[in-house]
Amino acid sequence: MFTIIGLIGRVFHGGIDHLAFQLVNVQSLELAKNAVNDSYQVFHIIRYFNGWMMAGWVLLAIGAYRSHTLGLIRSIALASMFFLPLGTLKGTRLESPFILFGLCVALVPLGIKVLREGPPLSRKAKFWTFIFIIGEIAFIVLSILFPETMRR
């Protein structure tokens, strides 16, 4: 639960990051820097999720190890997400890709195992997966062909 709530915080910060980068295109670099700087310490409830997220990765790793879902090395790799910087305009430091690689080390083999050993997908699940993929491709193509509609 802590990790999920913390991931909500990551989405929130991702939205702020996106806005900050778009301000450079829409306004100017100077105005974007001023906007981010002036609002950096403004109150928002999401900042209180940061500690939960950090603790959540460690608790998730301990639970995965104790339940024998992940071994020791993969549990440690999962817990390394504790060190990923979080907040507005964070997460792009030199060590960030290595920490994210730890998440892949922990979870990609588990995903492959679930796909191989889990029950096969039902016809209904295959149908809706296909519909979703086709719909997403259509939205991507339309947004590339008609970018002006994305600005409204």
For 149, the token pair is 């509609």
Provide block-wise average pLDDT over 10 residues at a time, the chain (152 residues): 82 85 88 85 79 88 96 95 80 80 94 91 95 95 83 64
DSSP percent split of the chain into helix, strand, coil, nearest 5: 80, 0, 20
How far is Cα 37 from Cα 14, in angstroms, rounded to an integer?
17
pLDDT recorded at residue 46: 78
Q: Which pLDDT does position 93 carry in this prediction?
A: 75
In one-letter notation, the amino acid at residue 23 is L
CA–CA gap between residue 146 and residue 51 (Å, rounded): 42
Cα–Cα dist 126/29, whole Å = 46
Q: How far is it, in rounded angstroms, from Cα 25 to Cα 32?
A: 9
Q: What is the pLDDT of residue 91?
A: 61
pLDDT digits (tens, 9 = 90+) for 4-39: 887 888 888 888 888 888 898 888 889 888 888 888
Domain map of the chain by residue range? 2-118, 120-152
> φ and ψ at 64, to 5 degrees?
-65, -35
